[in-house]
Chains A and B, each alone.
Chain A
Amino acid sequence: MYYDPFVLPFTIGLTALLLFLAVKYIRWIRTFRKSERRKIRKGMFSLKTFRAAGEVFSECLLHRKIYRTNPFLGYMHTCFGLGWFLLIVAGKTESMVYHTSAFNPPYFAIFFRFFHPAKETFPYSETFAFITDLLLLFILSGLFLALAKRFWSRIVGMRKTTKHRPLDLLILTSLWLIFPLRFLAESFTSGLRGGGSFLTNNAGEFFAEFLPLDHLTYPAWWAYSGMLGLFFVLLPFSRYMHIPTEIVYIFLKNWGIRQGTKFNAFSKIQMYACSRCGICIDSCQLNSSLQMDVQPVYFLKKIRHGKEYESLIENCLMCGRCEASCPVGLTHNALRLSKRPDLSRITKNTYSYAKNAAMPAPAKVAYFAGCMGQLTPTVTRSMERILEQAGVSCTYIDKEGGVCCGRPMLLAGNREEAAVMAEKNRAILKASGAEVLVTSCPICLKMFREEYGLQIRIVHHTEYIDELMREGKLKTVPGEQRTVFHNPCELGRGCGVYKAPENILKHVSRKIDTDFDGKKSLCCGGSLANTSIDGRQRNRIAGDAAKAYAAYQPDVLVTACPLCKKTFATASAVPVKDIAEVVAECCRP
């Protein structure tokens, strides 16, 4: 039996950690609704589990998504994630080959160099020594980058990083010391009695020249084990809880669990899965334009540590830029929304005035401009022109005023009142007998798609125009205007509509590609989701965004949302148009 008292800190720490995690996760999952637990049971024995395992490999070990932010930052995380994982795998395999048994205590593999007399060889012993040395070097190179990042975060492409608590700094230090201590312990052992490979062997010979290794080796192993133990014990109380929780989150997500309307156990799992990397800070325009510390990293941190977070609940544009950049893939909008209280007061009179809305004439295609659409008559007129040119018979269901789709109400937290509005609109839509619903407002689009449960096709006008152009029903002449496209948050990140506006603009204008195409589009600042910032602050965001687009020197800044158009109108030096207006100008009979 291989044993030495120095393995105790590591063993106790690891056991305590595993027990703690098991209890915590089981307790959380037990509070899940029955339907959700059924989903887990069903998902567990399906292909979804393999997909989740693949995602765990690429996100928790490789950290693929971080490479999109910055290659150095990605490499740093790969070093720690994949490096440490492979080191454990290689060490375990080595110990099993040596011991010819799978059942050796976990510490045996971790402290293999201590227990294994270096002179005694076994199959591939030199290869194993080489591999573990290589992996250790790999991790140490990542550690070097991490140190550099502490002092100069721009080196890894981050303008601003998270402010940490003292406990987090302590555990960070313990994590950083683990690998140098392992390096020292293995080098000292090698210097004393041989073994190791290119890294630890040479370092050992070097240290042996001027250090009393026979006095230092044993303490070094104690320090290494102690540091591992300390890290394991502190892990649940620090941000490193994200390491095990992210794995749980990925599996649950793949099995079909979603963030619901309430802040529940799954929300807690998301909260603990946040690694506080701070990538959301740079992506958030409330930071870049208004220097506000309201990003998901701070929001979740404050909830977790019982700090005042109420003021942050409302202070979010829900533009989804943080979600798009989050390496863990947390659903930040849904999380924030789950904390907004439902102040609905439902009576039989709630929105009963909806009956005063004019009933639409029946048609196959229904057009819904939305409240904001009503404020931009140029957009609705352009749409009418386009539909007429394409010969589409369409009923304009809210021409004489309609009921709001309910999304602004829902974003304020009042789901029940939003549901009543949805009910009223469903009745109006049903009366029209439409099979396709076209809307000009992406806010309405998202609401219709996600909350209405309609059995008809729901498309944004960009998608519909694109379709009409492809089918040859709508003929256009190529335009000469240089355009930049601002993809509205609710359209792109919200509903996944990226290609249609791109196709249209390439046909009717000279579209300039920007850094803000696709998922990286900016928020205009007009978002109704934020009730915390005032008009001037909105204008600042809009102005900064407009300036960023103007840098590409377009003739027109094109958007596809009446609210974005309105918001940019006062903030942009470049003329702002809706995509429907641009198309209408290029229509030919």
Chain B
Amino acid sequence: MPTLWGYSISAARSIDYDKNDQSFLRRLAHSCPSSKLCIGCGGCTAACSAGNLTEFNIRQLQMLVKRGETRETAEQLHKCMLCGKCLLVCPRGVDTRKMILSMKRFLREHDQ
């Protein structure tokens, strides 16, 4: 969509906080507050054991949650091996493993 300043917004990357389903995001922020510290640097993704073998991207997971795309999140989430490398490289101190586990728990409850 064209804007006044000549930039455009990619629909796939936009987060519409007014329309998105934010229940997942809010829960995640509650159970893993440090998840809010993410600046999307992608260090986690660069270090990721799973990401080394397949298309898996923790930064993208954050995005999916913010966009309220629960089903897509679930599909991506199960690729994580929880090895914890992301935890060690994160410059912001996001508890990435806790974040993933919280997501898993949420999705489990969501399914039931």
Question: Known contacts A404-B49, A408-B84, A566-B88: does B108 contact A343 (CB below 8 Å)?
Answer: yes
Partner of B34, one of A351, A402, A421, A534: A534
Chain B neighbourhood of A534, CB < 8 A: 34, 93, 95
Which of the candidate stretches B8-16, B18-26, B58-66, B75-83 sits at the interface with the other chain? B75-83
Question: Known contacts A354-B53, A401-B52, A535-B95: does B84 contact A528 (CB below 8 Å)?
Answer: yes
Chain B neighbourhood of A248, CB < 8 A: none
List which B67-112 residues lie within 8 A (CB) of chain A.
78-79, 81-85, 87-89, 93, 95, 97-98, 101, 104-105, 108
Which of the candidate stretches A131-139, A201-209, A370-378 sits at the interface with the other chain? A370-378
Question: Known contacts A354-B53, A531-B97: does B83 contact A404 (CB below 8 Å)?
Answer: yes
Q: In whole angstroms, how far apart are the Cα atoms of A354 and B52 in the complex?
A: 10
Chain A CB within 8 A of B50 CB = yes
Chain A neighbourhood of B83, CB < 8 A: 371-372, 404, 408
List which A348-398 residues lie within 8 A (CB) of chain B.
349-351, 353-354, 356-357, 371-372, 374-375
Q: In whole angstroms, how far apart are the Cα atoms of A406 and B81 in the complex?
A: 7
Contact at B53–A401, with CB atoms within 8 Å? yes
The 8 A CB mask of B30-55 against A (1 = contact, 0 = none) is 00001000000000000101101110
Question: Known contacts A353-B50, A353-B54, A404-B49: does B81 contact A374 (CB below 8 Å)?
Answer: no
Chain A-chain B contacts (Cβ-Cβ < 8 Å), number = 83
Contact at B54–A343, with CB atoms within 8 Å? no
Chain B CB within 8 A of A271 CB = no
Chain A neighbourhood of B104, CB < 8 A: 343, 345, 414
Q: In whole angstroms, how far apart are the Cα atoms of A446 and B37 in the complex?
A: 33
> Which residue in chain B gives the minimum CB-CB distance to A401?
B52
Question: Known contacts A350-B78, A404-B83, A535-B34: does B93 contact A374 (CB below 8 Å)?
Answer: no
Contact at A408–B81, with CB atoms within 8 Å? yes
Query: What is the distance, in angstroms, from B43's C-beta to the closest C-beta of chain A?
Result: 11
Partner of B97, one of A347, A372, A412, A566: A412
Contact at A404–B81, with CB atoms within 8 Å? yes
Contact at A372–B81, with CB atoms within 8 Å? no
Query: What is the distance, in angstroms, from A396's C-beta to the closest C-beta of chain B?
Result: 15
Query: What is the distance, in angstroms, from B47's C-beta to the closest C-beta of chain A?
Result: 7
Chain B CB within 8 A of A409 CB = yes
List which A178-224 residues lie within 8 A (CB) of chain B.
none
Which one of B84, B97, B105 has the greatest number of beta carbons of chain A within 10 Å? B84
Q: In whole angstroms, how far apart are the Cα atoms of A351 and B83 in the complex?
A: 13
Contact at B82–A414, with CB atoms within 8 Å? yes
Contact at A372–B93, with CB atoms within 8 Å? no
> Which residue in chain A gives the minimum CB-CB distance to B94?
A535
Chain B CB within 8 A of A536 CB = yes
Query: What is the distance, in angstroms, from B48's C-beta to the closest C-beta of chain A?
Result: 9
Contact at A371–B49, with CB atoms within 8 Å? yes
Contact at A356–B54, with CB atoms within 8 Å? yes
Which one of A371, A375, A401, A406 has the greatest number of beta carbons of chain B within 10 Å? A371
Q: In whole angstroms, how far apart are the Cα atoms of A375 and B89 in the complex?
A: 9
Question: Known contacts A353-B54, A414-B82: does B88 contact A375 (CB below 8 Å)?
Answer: yes
Contact at A357–B105, with CB atoms within 8 Å? no
Contact at B84–A403, with CB atoms within 8 Å? no
Query: What is the distance, in angstroms, from A220's C-beta to the closest C-beta of chain B?
Result: 60
Query: What is the distance, in angstroms, from B69's C-beta to the closest C-beta of chain A?
Result: 18
Contact at B93–A351, with CB atoms within 8 Å? no
Query: What is the distance, in angstroms, from B112's C-beta to the closest C-beta of chain A?
Result: 11
Query: What is the distance, in angstroms, from B90's C-beta to the closest C-beta of chain A?
Result: 8
Contact at A403–B81, with CB atoms within 8 Å? yes
> Which residue in chain A gives the minimum CB-CB distance to B79?
A353
Query: What is the distance, in angstroms, from B9's C-beta to the closest C-beta of chain A?
Result: 32
Q: In whole angstroms, how far apart are the Cα atoms of A563 and B98 in the complex?
A: 17
Q: In whole angstroms, how far apart are the Cα atoms of A350 and B104 in the complex?
A: 14
Q: In whole angstroms, how far apart are the Cα atoms of A117 and B20 in the complex?
A: 90
Contact at A535–B93, with CB atoms within 8 Å? yes
**Can you list 9 A-B pairs, Cβ within 8 angstroms, ordered by A?**
A371-B83, A372-B85, A374-B85, A401-B53, A408-B82, A417-B78, A528-B87, A534-B95, A536-B93
User: A353-B53, A408-B83 known; 18 other A-B pairs, CB under 8 Å?
Assistant: A343-B104, A345-B108, A353-B54, A356-B54, A371-B49, A401-B49, A403-B53, A404-B49, A404-B83, A412-B82, A412-B97, A412-B101, A531-B97, A532-B98, A534-B95, A535-B93, A535-B95, A563-B84
Lowest 4 A-B CB distances belong to which pairs?
Answer: A353-B54, A401-B52, A535-B93, A371-B83
